[in-house]
Amino acid sequence: MQIKQHTIASSAAFSGVGLHGGKPVEMRLLPAPDNYGIVFQRTDLGNEVFVHPLVEHVSHTRRSTEFAENGVKVRTAEHLLAALRSLGVDNVLVQLDAPEVPILDGSALPYVTALGRCGLLEQKADRIYRRVKRHAEYRDPKSGSFVTVDPCDELVVDLTIDFKSPMVGRQQASYDDTVDFVSQIAPCRTFCFYREIALMRFFGLIKGGSLDNALVIDDRKRCILGGKTLQFDNELARHKLLDLLGDFALAGAPVLGRITAYKPGHKTNTQALQYFINEAVL
């Protein structure tokens, strides 16, 4: 049976700060018509300033994914995009009054909670997928990261992270139709290492970062700052899986295929996706 497109049945609003820019931001999700897609509107720049979250618009991938259209940027939308795609929202207008999506608690849980309250509305048009047509792989020789794709009738992700950190090390996470995104993936929080913070601040990143929106791992003291504990043994791998789902949402349509990722990051994810589209794999 052909699955129909869906939008949200009512609107949702969020207030917060951008993780990297640190600016306050108000965000609204509004229902949108058939075949509209997921579209961002920068209301702070006027009523006609729209940005489409597509991989060809990716402009920056340092610690988050940024895309830009006609010089207008939207940043750190990956957790929201993962939530929208995973819950089956095809058409939605995302209004923002700043360049960055609110980080909230660093996970996608606030988004899936709000989307659950909105409910979904079935529309008339059929959902259109981007199917993986054949095996392909993208490798980043510098980092050793890679992403491979294979044909599959559902979206399956197998992901491995491997950090030089005794607190993290090698972890694996998987996703398929049997995994409940809302309870198993969405709650997994952004993380960073305490040793990286000074350098990230030097580069003007994480101005809105705090212990309320990120897990900060201190390898030297063998702890997570602020007395935080993990929700899952592999929460960090699951967060990277959330990021990958958000980055692959930039395909412009839901992807069907098996994705295997080793040491993924926003740069590798988006470069791999662009390569697969250029090579007509997707």
Residue numbers of the site for Zn ion (CB under 5 A)? 190, 243
Residue 273 beta carbon to Zn ion: minimum distance, rounded to whole angstroms = 16
Residue 118 beta carbon to Zn ion: minimum distance, rounded to whole angstroms = 22
Burial of 40 (0-12, 13-18, 19+ CB in 10 A): buried
Residue nearer to Zn ion on the CB measure, 129 or 262? 262
User: H/E element holding 201?
Assistant: helix 197-202
Distance CA 128, CA 149 (A): 19
Residue nearer to Zn ion on the CB measure, 130 or 238? 238
Residue 32 beta carbon to Zn ion: minimum distance, rounded to whole angstroms = 25
Distance CA 31, CA 63 (A): 30
Candidate list 6, 20, 239, 266, residue with the active-site label: 266
57 a catalytic residue:
no
Residue nearer to Zn ion on the CB measure, 10 or 183? 183
Nearest alpha carbon to residue 80 among 3, 171, 16: 16
Residue nearer to Zn ion on the CB measure, 100 or 243? 243
Number of neighbouring beta carbons within 10 Å of residue 70 = 8
Residue 114 beta carbon to Zn ion: minimum distance, rounded to whole angstroms = 18
Residue 132 beta carbon to Zn ion: minimum distance, rounded to whole angstroms = 23
- Written as six digits, the tokens of 154 are 């559902």
DSSP-derived secondary structure letter, 102 = B
User: CB-based contacts of 113: which residues, under 8 Å, 6+ apart?
Assistant: none
Residue nearer to Zn ion on the CB measure, 185 or 281? 185
Please report, for residues 15, 22, 32, 53, 235, the alpha-carbon distance to residue 160 in angstroms, rounded to integers and kept in the order given: 33, 30, 36, 26, 12
In the complex, residue closest to Zn ion by CB: 243
Amino acid letter, residue 264: P
User: CB-based contacts of 199: which residues, under 8 Å, 6+ apart?
Assistant: none
Q: Which residues are catalytically annotated?
A: 266
